[in-house]
A and B are shown apart, each in its own frame.
Chain A
């Protein structure tokens, strides 16, 4: 199905009975009873599974001179040891920047350099520690991103350059010029990267893994091992969190494959928690400079956002300026992202790549500008809203209700009654503050396919789409039920398998909109097939029946199997529009006047992201994003050891994500919006919008509480105590 013009009025989904209804996730019972099969627990899929345990490099970069695995090979229960020196450097799969295995070169700390395969996990782990490695360390490197930014700023061709930013800034009535910093962030999904691989015969390979993108993974495995794609099957039906950390092939699957070939048996490998930070990918640290100009009336006249992030050579880093060309109206906008090559673990995508870090800075800058202008920060944002892409004014937004988000949020939160003077509201020893921030995240869509199969009135839908905890099983079942006039009980979803039609996969918040359209396309194709079978024209499908003229049959009465495969293709007409999702976040914090401890007291998100396919799972996405952002605002920080070129706090005790006690009442409001350009369902994603802007709302609330402006995340107490008012 080609989506080549905006969805019309009164489509199937505008009168929906299943889509859009609050529905608990269909896979919930499996998850809460511990019976959903996650990769490492696929005990039943292949006989005689062995355990693989990885060894990570002990240096940040350099070369391996020699490895002695003799003791490990002779250790009890050990079946095979594969060291990196025995294997030629493996080809890199799609979007892999660091090499995953093979050869003597070490590009980053905890790079996989060996796998030990044994009868038990404990035996493999004990043996891995017996491998002796001699290294030659690389030359010391400079990991100072701030210094790199100083050197690079202003250089190169700008990414966006609309209007005359320099004169806007020089002649401005009100001007801001500040530096911001966000540290590196780790995805830290609950489920570590894990795979079971059967490549016993060195020919056909089956991979049971935890991966967001089946098709990309499939292709990368083929490239990495020089195999024909036909010889590989990939399954990933359940994923315990991804956040972008499982978009690509990673070392778990590679080591399990090599171990399996060496041992001649299926092998499972999970990356131990301490390796997640330095072996897998992370969101790069960013250094950002924002300059803004405005007239006395509060209208922005110029924005110059320049940023830097680190990456291994040829990587993309974290483009913190991603939102700036589009979010606020301004005649002059200039942006530039500099990537800085550093021998650190690979930086890559993490939930809302670009916008998440960019808005952490931009939305503080907006707060600062509002204050300079003497304006309410909500009013200032409303004033600078735009319905067209400011860097390309001929392009309209397909559907944008940012102002409504701010207005609904302000009214619901009680913004009018907030603390206005920094440091002026107290509750015992706690200083109380309120903050707001805007949220912006692009609404990308990708082609997505599915197969729909009707048998005895039951509908089976097969697609390689994944559910990374987001609720895809549920929203796709809802979409199928709606399209076929069935109920949820009539639908069986089969997902996450390379044997099924290729979908969008899960990432970049493109999954929900793309894959629901793909399932819709497949079901429409099935409807056409059924019409053909019955020899009727344009039948209606409702209440389990197919109705056309004199024909009125229950789907369950149709004989045999009828199936159809289709996928959604996206038409060029979408390029005429800028498609994005919007939100406003409101936060109340308490900051302890003595210790500077910050505790979030209230959070509200208002989201504009098109049709909400399921308010229950969508809300979970948004509150999950808000929770992640509280961590980013207040505690998450991959502590860089600049002498060693590694992240030192590499476990969940050292890398502090928000815990239950950090998260207060969270309220989420979805505006009742529809975006006919975005998809046939008029839906857009929401999973990444929830993390955007929230951290800045927290930082702004801390400023409002204390009068201390922190532009260097996380906003920890050591950055506050110097400026807190005397204890009273």
Chain B
């Protein structure tokens, strides 16, 4: 860990302004990801701006009949909220499938969206990684590398890492929007669909946020009802990132939505795939994973995604 300065600010706009002003600044929310990465010298912020205590920890109702979730609402509070459990159960299920109780007590809504990949080579500073050290190469794509956990679609020749969040997959299937404040004090709204960027040639750029821009909230539109499920598949029963996860909302008429985790650099969903839901899992996955470019080690994720959805659809 490198030495850094620490600052507490009094309101969100000031946080954003200060972050833009000070070179190498980072926001600190729950710290469950940032502090780990700092200890490993993967993140080396020169300045840390603590965004706790800015009043961003509430869940309120929106005029449109949805919910606004403050960026500092913890994963525990969010998954346990009665309105979420009643009207957006897929989100509760997705969050509860992630990390552990202790981590969810600290993890926040904004921090969760911006948690970084779990690619093993990203974590090993002795190895090349375009995401960690732009231009150094991608260790995961070299001959003999270990890529079982990594992405199969939306990846590039520069990076095949996945976005590891479960919460984000639940939010994506609910058409969530991200609210921010910019260093200039302006607010803006970014659909979650556009929030995470695909790696292309610049895998170090992971989100649509501008330098200094702070997430203030995530909003959910009015409830869409239907049957809502989240199935996270992994090698052990708990405390592991998804090999594949499927978020499903199905209406009584068989229509609905599907989003995938564990396969791509962002929660993976498409309108064309949603439209195939009445035709079954194979049809959905043909659309959703049609362009997949897996490695030999992770090609199973394509079959797995289809079988997982099929099982969810077949469940009584």
Residues of A within 8 A of B (CB): 56, 58, 76, 122, 125-126, 129, 143, 274, 428-429, 592-597, 599, 634-635, 639-644, 648-651, 653-654, 656, 658-662, 714, 716-718, 721-722, 724, 727-728
Q: Whole-angstrom distance between the alpha carbons of A642 and B143 in the complex?
A: 8
Residues of A within 8 A of B236 (CB): 634-635, 656, 658-659, 661-662
Contact indicator B303/A595 (Cβ below 8 Å): no
- 8 A Cβ contacts from B299-316 to A: 300, 303-304, 307-308, 310-312, 314-316
B195 contacts the other chain (CB 8 A) = no
Given contacts A58-B126, A125-B1, A129-B41, contact A634 B235 (CB under 8 A): yes
Asked if B146 and A641 sit within 8 Å, CB to CB, the answer is: yes
Contact among B120, B125, B304 for A650, CB-based, below 8 A: B120
Is A649 in contact with B315, judged by CB distance below 8 angstroms? no
* Min C-beta distance of A233 to chain B, whole Å: 33
**Are A429 and B146 neighbours in the complex by a CB distance under 8 Å?**
no
Given A58-B126, A642-B144, A717-B304, answer yes or no on A594-B120 (Cβ-Cβ < 8 Å). Answer: no
Q: Inside 8 A of A727's CB, which chain B residues have their CB?
A: 307, 310-311, 314
Residues of B within 8 A of A714 (CB): 235
Is chain A's interface secondary structure helix, strand, loop, or mixed overall?
A: loop
User: Which of B40, B124, B231, B233 is in CB contact (< 8 Å) with A717?
Assistant: B233
- Taking A593-B311, A596-B304, A644-B139 as given, write out 6 further A-B residue pairs in contact, using a Cβ cutoff of 8 Å, ordered by the A residue number: A58-B126, A58-B127, A126-B1, A595-B311, A596-B307, A634-B236
Contact pattern, B 274-316, Cβ under 8 Å of A = 1, otherwise 0: 0000000000000000000000000010011001101110111
Which single residue of chain A is at the shortest CB-CB distance from B239? A659
Of A56, A599, A649, the residue contacting B120 (CB under 8 A) is: A649
B148 CB-CB contact with A under 8 Å: yes
Assess the A594–B310 pair: CB atoms within 8 A: yes
C-alpha spacing A648/B144, complex, angstroms: 11
Chain B residues, Cβ within 8 Å of A648? 120-121, 124, 145-146
Task: Tell me if B237 counts as interface (CB < 8 A to partner A).
Answer: yes
Name the residue on B nearest A122 (C-beta): B1
The reply on B142 being an interface residue by CB < 8 A is yes
A650 to B40, CA, bound (A): 13
Q: Interface 1/0s, chain B 114-129, versus A by CB < 8 A?
A: 0000101101111100
CB < 8 Å: which of A56, A122, A644, A659 contacts B237? A659
Indicate if B46 sits at the interface (CB-CB under 8 A). Answer: no
* A594-B308, A654-B120, A721-B300 given; A728·B314 CB < 8 A: yes
Report B235-279 CB contacts with A as 1/0, cut-off 8 Å: 111111101000000000000000000000000000000000000
A721 to B127 Cα, complex, angstroms: 33
Ordered by A's residue number, 24 sampled pairs between the chains whose C-beta atoms are within 8 Å are A126-B1, A429-B314, A429-B315, A592-B311, A595-B307, A595-B311, A596-B304, A596-B307, A597-B234, A634-B235, A634-B236, A639-B120, A642-B144, A644-B127, A649-B120, A650-B120, A651-B123, A659-B238, A659-B239, A662-B238, A718-B300, A721-B300, A721-B304, A728-B314
Residue contact B304 to A635, C-beta cutoff 8 Å: no
CA distance A592 to B237 in the complex (A): 12
CA distance A125 to B1 in the complex (A): 7
Q: Which residues of A contact B234 (CB under 8 A)?
A: 597
Find out whether the CB atom of A635 lies under 8 angstroms from the CB atom of B124: no
Chain B residues near A639 (CB-CB < 8 A): 120, 146, 148
- In the bound complex, do residue A643 and residue B142 qualify as a contact, i.e. CB atoms below 8 Å apart? yes
Q: Are A662 and B144 in contact (CB under 8 A)?
A: no
Docked pose: A674 CA to B185 CA in angstroms = 79
CB pair A429–B311 under 8 Å, yes or no, is: yes
Interface size of B by CB at 8 A reads 43
Q: Tell me the minimal C-beta distance from A271 to chain B in angstroms.
A: 15
Taking the closest CB of chain A, its distance from the CB of B105, in whole angstroms, is 17
Q: State in angstroms the CA–CA spacing of A374 and B241 once bound together.
A: 42
In the docked arrangement, what's the CA distance between A640 and B126, Å? 16
B42-99: which have CB < 8 Å to A?
none
Interface residue from B146, B238, B304 paired with A595 (Cβ < 8 Å): B304
Taking CB atoms, residues of chain B closer than 8 Å to A649 are 120, 146
User: B300 contacts which chain A residues (CB < 8 A)?
Assistant: 717-718, 721
* Binary A-proximity of B100-141 (CB < 8 A = 1, otherwise 0): 000000000000000000101101111100000000000100
Q: Using Cβ atoms and an 8 Å threshold, which residues of chain A touch B120?
A: 639, 648-650, 654
In the docked arrangement, what's the CA distance between A429 and B312, Å?
10
B231 neighbours in A (Cβ, 8 Å): 595
Contacts of A640 in B (CB 8 A): 146
- In the complex, A253→B312 CA distance in Å? 53
Q: Residue B186 at the A interface, CB < 8 A?
A: no
Given contacts A429-B314, A635-B236, A641-B144, contact A650 B124 (CB under 8 A): yes
Contacts A595-B308, A634-B236, A661-B238 given; does A129 touch B125 at CB 8 Å: yes
Bound Cα distance A593, B125 (Å):
40
Contact A594 B238 (CB under 8 A): no
When distances are taken between beta carbons in the complex, the residues of chain B under 8 Å from A722 are: 303
Report the minimal beta-carbon distance from B103 to chain A, rounded to whole angstroms.
12
Query: What separation, in Å, do the CA atoms of A634 and B237 have in the docked complex?
Result: 11
What 8 pairs between A and B have smallest CB-CB spacing? A594-B311, A643-B144, A58-B126, A642-B144, A661-B237, A718-B300, A661-B238, A648-B146
CB distance from A645 to the nearest CB of B (A): 9
A643–B41 contact, CB under 8 A?
A: no
Q: Give the distance in Å from the alpha carbon of A651 to the alpha carbon of B126 in the complex.
A: 15
- Write the chain B residue with the least CB distance to A593: B311
In the bound complex, CA of A649 to CA of B240 (Å): 13
Inter-subunit contact A635/B145 (CB<8 Å):
no
B3, B41, B139, B307: the one contacting A721 at CB < 8 Å is B307
For B1, B2, B142, B237, the residue with the greatest tally of chain A CB atoms inside 10 Å of its CB is B237
| Residues in chain B near residue A716, CB distance under 8 A | 235
Contacting residues, chain A, for B118 (C-beta < 8 A) = 653
* B39, B41, B126: residue with the most chain A Cβ atoms closer than 10 Å: B126
Contact residues in B for A596 (Cβ distance below 8 Å): 304, 307
Q: Distance (Å) between the CB of A286 and the closest chain B CB?
A: 19
Chain A positions within 8 Å of B125 at CB level: 129
Residues on the A chain within 8 Å of B308, using CB: 594-595
Nearest B residue to A592 by beta-carbon distance?
A: B311
A659 to B310, CA, bound (A): 28
Residue ID in chain A nearest B142 by CB atoms: A643
Contacts A594-B310, A595-B308, A721-B307 known; A662 to B237 CB distance under 8 Å?
A: yes
Residues in B neighbouring A654, C-beta threshold 8 A: 120
Q: Which residues of B contact A721 (CB under 8 A)?
A: 300, 303-304, 307
List, in ascending order, chain A residues with CB within 8 A of B40's CB.
274
Distance, CA A650 to CA B121, complexed state (A): 10
Chain B residues within an 8 Å CB radius of A661: 236-239
Q: How far is the CA of A656 from the CA of B243 in the complex (A)?
A: 13
8 Å CB contact of A641 from B3, B145, B312, B315:
B145
In whole angstroms, what is the CA distance A412 to B303 when docked?
A: 39
Q: Which residues of B contact A662 (CB under 8 A)?
A: 236-238
Question: In whole angstroms, how far apart are the Cα atoms of A722 and B124 in the complex?
Answer: 33
Residues of B within 8 A of A643 (CB): 142-145
**Shortest distance in angstroms between A61's beta carbon and chain B's nearest beta carbon?**
14
B117 to chain A, nearest CB (A): 12
Q: How far is the CA of A685 from the CA of B164 in the complex (A)?
A: 44
Determine the chain B residues whose CB is within 8 A of the CB of A125 once the complex forms: 1, 39
Chain B residues with Cβ under 8 A from A76's Cβ?
3
Docked Cα-Cα span, A728 to B123, in Å, equals 41
Q: What distance in Å separates the Cβ of B150 from its nearest Cβ neighbour in chain A?
A: 11
Contacts of B239 in A (CB 8 A): 659, 661
The verdict on A274 contacting B304 (CB below 8 Å), with A595-B231, A643-B145, A662-B237 known, is no
Chain B residues within 8 Å of A718, by CB = 148, 300, 304
When chains A and B are docked, how far (Å) is the Cα of A718 from the Cα of B308?
13
Docked complex Cα distance between A429 and B309 (Å) = 13
State whether A660 touches B238 (Cβ < 8 A). Answer: yes
Give complex CA distance A118, B78 in Å: 42
Query: How many Å lie between the Cα of A185 and that of B39 in the bound state?
Result: 26
| A126, B2: Cβ atoms closer than 8 Å | yes
The digit string for B206-246, where 1 denotes a CB below 8 A from any CB of A, is: 00000000000000000000000001011111111101000
